[in-house]
Amino acid sequence: MKKTSLSLLFALCVNSLFAQNSQDILGYWLNEEADAKIEVFKQYDKFFGKIVWLEEPKYENGEWKLDTENPDENLRHRKKLGLQIMRNLVWDKGDKEWNDGKIYDAREGDTYSLYATLKGKEILNLRGYIGFSIFGKTTSWTRAKL
């Protein structure tokens, strides 16, 4: 009985050490290619992400890189640096994930439905998809060191 109680107590302690909460997604993340840093922030109980650093924010001629692939011609003049690429993620406590969001791929000009999960505290897995999540792609971001 004593062993069972100690084992159960140990399991609960370990589980609470690795338990995720909604705030764990906040902070700065490097994309998979490590050529952009994204700040994830919370606003009105939803989570958003914007590009705060680019390895090459300008072209060789000194002009800013713009959102030229955007399907909306009126938005093609926006700088990629500072661009909001993630929006409206909601924490789902039961599934321990953020879902119901959207992610914008500025390289291609496409927007996808999004859900995100954490692997530990340092890896953020983002699944972008159209329609059903099985028809999508997962990318992994790494927590950026400041």
Residues 97 and 90: beta-carbon distance below 8 Å: no
**pLDDT band per the 50, 70, 90 thresholds, residue 2:** low
Q: Tell me: the pLDDT tens digits for 62-77?
A: 999 999 999 999 999 9
Mean pLDDT of 14-32: 79
The predicted-structure confidence for 92-137, as pLDDT tens digits, reads as follows 999 999 999 999 999 999 999 999 999 999 999 999 999 887 888 9
Confidence of residue 28 (pLDDT cuts 50, 70, 90): very high
How does DSSP assign 7-49, residue by residue? HHHHHHHHHHHH---GGGG-EEEE-TTSSEEEEEEEETTEEEE
Structural domains in the chain, CATH included, are 20-143 (2.40.128.520)
CA 99 to chain centre: 11
Residue 46 predicted with pLDDT over 50 = yes
Q: Look up residue 60 and give its amino acid.
A: E
